[in-house]
Amino acid sequence: MTGSIRLFTTQALASDLNIQATPEQAHYLANVMRRGVGDIVVLFNGVDGEFNAEITAIKRDRAVFALRDKLRPQLALPSMTLIFAPLKRDTTTFVIEKATELGVTHIRPVFTDRTQAGRVNLDRFHATAREAAEQCERLCVPLIDEPVRLFDLLGAWPHDRLLFAAIERADAKRPEFRPNPAALLVGPEGGFTQTELDAMRRLSFVKPISLGPLILRAETAVIAGLALVQACESR
């Protein structure tokens, strides 16, 4: 399967079905990848698994796939939520890409006192996650929720679900186990304010975790935090 073109679709998948490509997919296949009738691509939809599909018709903005054999059944990933403060455009794109590659199943932007971005483009977030899932051979695309203010998030958080908060230079131990579902909160460049830190420390379900003695960029903290929480699963 290495080197195959993988495409995400919202349509149902099953052997011997014929389905339409989106205009964007048809353009990509015909004009960017120079694929034609008879070429094979791989399709997945996050529900039915992964299938080989033959291109049976293709024009500039139209293509038809004939589904062939099933390559992999659908397998659920362990639930993991990443909650992060949006950064500058390219850096946020990087965060979503890496979160997708690291198996995050839910992504939620959160606005904190020091969040750099005043708004988010969820359509772009979805496109980034979809393209990353196509590249890394995931069978599903992360769900991306509407942004929320930090205190609104904390106020609505289920008290029986742990929320790991990556706090720079925190006097905290590494998590000793990974709960299911897992959730990680990463703040903005500059970190959380003292008011935000005090509020989180009063909540029993918020568990600070340390990412080491050095100050990390926010995007680095996302990767380090996800790797740390995931590593607990194998202990």
Tell me the domains of the chain and their CATH numbers. 6-72 (2.40.240.20), 80-234 (3.40.1280.10)
pLDDT band at 125 (very low <50, low <70, confident <90, very high): very high
- Give the position of tokens 């299938």: 51
How confident is the model at residue 2, as a pLDDT? 41
Cβ atoms < 10 Å from Cβ of 69: 8
- The two structure tokens encoding residue 43: 């399709």
How confident is residue 56, by pLDDT bands cut at 50, 70 and 90? very high
pLDDT at 210 over 90: no
**Paired strand residues for 53:** 41, 67
What is the reported pLDDT for 193?
95
- In the predicted structure, residue 234 carries a pLDDT above the cut 60: no
- CA-nearest of 126, 137, 18, 19 to 75 is 137
Shortest CA distance to 191 belongs to which of 150, 160, 226? Answer: 150
